[in-house]
A and B are shown apart, each in its own frame.
Chain A
Amino acid sequence: MLVNYEEHTRTLVISFDGEIDHHSCASMAVISDDAIKKYLPQKLIFDFRGVKFMDSAGIGMIIGRYKQLIRFGGKAEMQNVGDDVKRIFNMVGIFKIIPLAKEKEEV
């Protein structure tokens, strides 16, 4: 997992990797919440490029972090969401509240 804050755009990027389940979510939630409280970002991007597996625990974990963020008035987006992960998120229509970022050209 990687946390990256860009001061001049006040954008926090939280990049997940590996498998997201009930077990791995615990530390992902703590690290994310700490970063949100520390930086109070205007924009938070959840990046899923390195994620190999996600079950419904991921839905709860992301919505929980989103609730932290909006307490401070930030906005959230998701990027690099693979098809398997997208299928899980689509079951609850999460992209209506946390939209997918416009895909950047791969170099």
Chain B
Amino acid sequence: MDNEMKLEIRSKSCNEAFARIVVAAFASQLDPTLEEIADIKTAVSEAVTNSIIHGYDSKDGVIHINCKLIDSSIEIEIIDYGKGIENIDVAKQPLYTSKPELDRSGMGFTIMESFMDFFSVESIVGMGTKIKMRKEIKK
């Protein structure tokens, strides 16, 4: 299987559900299990939510979601052009959040890391953040 899909959305919280449903629908071409679909949906939801509330501080911005199907895996990139992350190692720690006042749990990165087979964060302060993830759909 070889396929590609690109999606551009505005940083509105109502688009969190839209983004994860679109990516899950695209991934369904690989015939994933319900659990694999739940993993992908959750990881996408975490990354898109982070772009909205952290990257853009809930202000207007654009989020790009690029997906590729390569053999039996899906590669997902989620990109924002927001404020960026100063210290990625600290940000990735379980329970770390820079916004505890907003009822955040600090588990977003931990979930992306454990639900996907590959996960990386690239970020430049003042420029934005790119999350790359890959999930292998087992046959």
Contact = CB atoms under 8 A, between A and B. Distances in A.
Q: Does A pair with B?
A: yes
Contact of B52 (A19, A22, A25, A60): A22
Q: Is the interface of A mostly helix, strand, loop or mixed?
A: helix
Interface string A55-72: 111011101100000000
Interface string B58-101: 00000000000000000000000000000000000011000000
B103 interface: yes
Interface in B21-47: 35, 38, 41-42, 45-46
A59 B102 CA distance: 12
Contacts of A84: 35, 38, 42
Contacts, number: 62
Interface of A: 19, 21-23, 25-26, 29, 53, 55-57, 59-61, 63-64, 84, 88, 91-92
Given A21-B16, A64-B103, A55 B49 contact: yes
Contacts of B114: 91
19 contacts: A21-B16, A21-B49, A22-B16, A23-B14, A23-B16, A23-B17, A26-B13, A29-B103, A53-B45, A56-B105, A56-B107, A57-B103, A57-B104, A60-B103, A60-B105, A84-B35, A88-B42, A91-B107, A92-B95
A88 B111 contact: yes
Given A57-B104, A60-B105, A64-B103, 18 more contacts: A19-B17, A21-B17, A21-B45, A22-B13, A22-B52, A23-B13, A23-B17, A53-B41, A55-B45, A55-B108, A56-B104, A56-B107, A57-B105, A88-B111, A91-B107, A91-B110, A91-B111, A91-B114
